[in-house]
Chain A
Amino acid sequence: MSLIDTSYTAFLERYLDLASFRQTLVSANLANIDTPGYRSVDVAFQSELVWASFNDSYRQPLHPVVRRVNGLIERPDGNNVSLDREGLLLAQTQLQYKAAVELIRAEFRGILGAINDGKES
Chain B
Amino acid sequence: MNLFGVMTISGTALLAERERAEILASNLANAETTRTPAGGPYQRQHVVFAAHRPFGMPFGEQLATMVDFSARGVQVDGVIADPAPPIRRFEPGHPDADAAGYVSAPAINPIEEEVNLMGAARAYQANVSAVQATKSMIASALTILG
Contacts and interface: CB of A to CB of B under 8 A. Distances in A.
A66 B2 CA distance: 16
A38 B6 CA distance: 18
Contacts of A39: 69
A23 interface: yes
Contacts, number: 110
Given A24-B9, A98-B140, A31 B2 contact: no
B130 A27 contact: yes
A17 B10 contact: no
Interface residues of B, number: 39
Interface in A74-121: 83, 86-87, 90-91, 93-94, 97-98, 101, 104-105, 108
Given A23-B3, A41-B71, A94-B137, A87 B126 contact: yes
A26 interface: yes
Contacts of B133: 23, 90-91, 93-94
Q: Is the interface of B mostly helix, strand, loop or mixed?
A: helix
A10 interface: no
Contact of A31 (B10, B48, B136, B144): B10
Nearest to A63: B64
A97 B143 CA distance: 12
A84 B73 CA distance: 19
A35 B71 CA distance: 14
A27 B126 CA distance: 9
Contacts of A36: 48-49
6 contacts: A19-B137, A24-B5, A32-B13, A32-B74, A90-B129, A101-B140
Interface of A: 16-17, 19-21, 23-28, 30-36, 38-39, 41, 62, 66, 68, 83, 86-87, 90-91, 93-94, 97-98, 101, 104-105, 108
Interface of B: 1-3, 5-7, 9-10, 12-13, 16-17, 20, 48-51, 68-74, 119-120, 123, 126-127, 129-130, 133-134, 136-137, 140-141, 143-144
6 closest A-B pairs by beta carbon, nearest first, are: A31-B13, A28-B71, A35-B49, A24-B71, A94-B133, A98-B140
